[in-house]
Structure 1
């Protein structure tokens, strides 16, 4: 994936120094900064609807099950576009796909504010999801093309933490706008952020490293990668992660407003705090993944076990302080796992396959996003939010178990790849 770690070379872990601080060069720092900003805007645009959902439900007269369908509509397209997004990035270049993604999602963010019915809202959110769906794999490929293998997960950890920081910023922006001018205006406001970020990425994103460009031209191996059983263990790990992450992100704001009786502003603040802890955990996990060279059994399994226990305890918390404390713990432990799930594949594979590999793994997490919001809406209507949140612990258990079974290092994964992927 860099000048020293094509699949035919010695493993990156053996060729790079094993001690010393992980440092990013200027191009890598610029890339991290731009993609950090772009992903914050991505997440703000995505999460505004979670805060607006109670108001949308009232205006359109839809119940929680239908509200869950609105959320799942986004993930249906978002998940479906993960692997195609990676293939497009591998074929046409990461920068071009990044720019198209930002433009498309900004347009459909604004159009969400024009929705006139439940059906129109679902269609718009599907198209919005398609725009955002081609972004993650292109972003990860852009990082792989501009970093060496030794610091790649540190860079990815910083960029991925933007999701959590976006979750901090989203309620602080959208909450007051919704309270003052209504839910429609909140979508118009955040759409402009996407356009501004589009301009910055177009002007400032550094070129890929020369070796990455040469390697990317090699082509081939994508079908063999998709047919590799070991890779699907990482897909399954992110599916379990996605159950927990998207379940909490999608329904905690509505739960705090409808079940705990909090105002929109208060629920936004209480949602932002766990996201802040999650962002810090994700930065730390990227550094740990680089230092330990992956090893999901060490990083992912214990953290996801803690997250699952915290969610189960959260369902029994009577006081708001206890609920918020456990929610912060669950968020931090869960988001700590994100970067380490990608660590071994992205340290092992060449940049010509990094887009496809990222899209493949991310497909698992976003597939959970299709199922979980709608399932939780149904469970909240049919039973209670206690039951709905408790189901999320199953995702934590799945990820923890698969983390023990997945290849733990680049050497182990490389031995389980076919020749078309290795060569």
Structure 2
């Protein structure tokens, strides 16, 4: 019988000693950190460019939000296929080709001559980038031990927050000096260079990592699993906050607080740095706790909700940045714990499909948040738009407390009976222990 969420929550806590990263893991982290950094800078720069794009094409805020959401629609749709491709053809090959193709579409973004063409290019760009995340997580799973995994993924994922520093610091001056199109050309060149490094230097899977392709039974179990979709919904709640803030904070500071584009970018530095540090800490906590994401995500999302609610009522820009930093800290701390139990529990040959499902949930939030918040900002106010994000934080917190908190409960909920799951997937015992 499946273990109930309550029973899973009450299972005894078993802290584990976090393992140091070996040479293979360190090289893997460094290369995938660089690839993720390019990935996130590519998608964040458009948020800085939205005011310029809006003026050039005559767009209101709802239409500007659509330019962001169309990327996330394709990006979300690419997550599960990306995981399946990584499981079938290999993480290194899948991640590399995704990086190369999305760099081409990054360059094409700068050539868009109309709003319709921009939407088409951003959709195709999102489809290419959507293949990458699950492949990257699978690459980490194949090159780390279970005790290293969340710490390694936390380091890789801290690139997301660092991108929030790099994008305004480098992108804003380029946009001001040379126009918004030049920024996309520059990032495309960097993407091609990182692709070359990934192809040349990413190590092979560690000895003992499974080389078998996933059986159709195992994939069907994941896609039909209610517990996996609950983890995906948790990530949806988390990402509703993240993508809502990333999309609209620069425009809010520019339109409502009167900051220049460069000053708005500088204001985002402290929240981004804190979020990056929190992502690393969250990954280490997930390894140390052996799961137990509810202990991290629920209180962290409560802190995020407080920060979000107090941001737009702040009297000064400095106070706004302070509350934004608090919100970013809670969100950063929550990132890796959402993945901890599934990624520690699934066999490596299903790591791509499993992570793809969870990331799919998060990227649906990237479709919803920009358009809904843009509509609320136009129709009501930015205060209402940011308050909307509390719904995401609440959803993530509730699901963090009602999903299985450790491997045994997760496997029981996944397929009711561990022997049937093992028969369908052929995991090695080490991965499931």
TM-score by length of 1: 0.94
Distance (Å, rounded) in 2 between the aligned partners of 1:240 and 1:268: 25
Partner of 2:138: 141
Q: CA deviation at 1:66?
A: 0.3
Structure 1 residue 217 displacement after superposition? 5.9
> Structure 2 vs 1, CA of residues 264 and 411 (structure 1 numbering), >3 Å: closer, same or farther?
same
Counterpart for residue 10 of structure 2: none
Equivalent in the alignment of 1:256: 253
RMSD: 1.3
Q: 1:97 aligns with which of 94, 115, 121?
A: 94
1:386 positional shift: 0.6
Instruction: Point out where structure 1 has 5 or more consecutive residues left out of the alignment.
Output: 1-16
Residues 1:34 and 2:3 are matched in the alignment:
no
CA distance in 2, matches of 1:266, 1:152: 37
- Counterpart CA distance in 1 for 2:392 and 2:24 is 37
Query: How is 1:148-297 mapped onto 2 (pairs within 5 angstroms)?
Result: 148-216=145-213, 220-297=217-294
* Distance in 2, Cα, partners of 1:256 & 1:19: 43
> Would you say the 8 A contact 2:15–2:290 is kept in 1?
no
Matches within 5 A, 1:52-91: 52-91=49-88
- Report the CA distance shift for 1:82/1:301 in structure 2 as closer, same or farther (over 3 A): same
- Kept in 2, the 8 Å contact 1:349–1:422? The answer is no
Q: Which residue of 1 aligns with 2:403?
A: 406
With 38-47 and 225-234 compared, the bigger mean Cα shift is at 225-234
1:138-191: per-residue Cα shift (whole Å, max 9, x none)?
000000000000110000000011000011111111111111111111111111
- Which among 81, 84, 109 is matched to residue 106 of structure 2? 109
Question: Is 2:40 the partner of 1:43?
Answer: yes
Distance (whole Å) between structure 2 residues aligned to residue 149 and residue 219 of structure 1? 24
TM-score by length of 2: 0.92
Contact 1:112 1:187 in 2 (8 A): yes
Consecutive unaligned residues in structure 2, runs of 5 or more: 1-13, 424-433
Tell me the residue number matched to 1:421: 421
Alignment pair present for 1:337 and 2:334 = yes
CA contact (8 A) 2:218 2:421 kept: yes
- Whether 2:371 is the aligned partner of 1:369: answer no
CA distance in 2, matches of 1:422, 1:36: 32
Q: Distance in 1 between matches of 2:107 and 2:421?
A: 41
Q: Closer, same or farther in 2 for the Cα pair 1:325/1:218, shift >3 Å?
A: same
Cα shift at 1:210:
3.4
Shift of 1:218: 5.7
* Distance apart, 1:379 and its partner CA: 0.6
Which of 386, 390, 396 is equivalent to 1:389?
386
> Partners of 1:98 and 1:21 in 2: how far apart?
27
Q: Give the whole-Å Cα distance in 1 for the aligned partners of 2:422 and 2:396.
A: 26
Contact 2:237 2:394 in 1 (8 A): yes
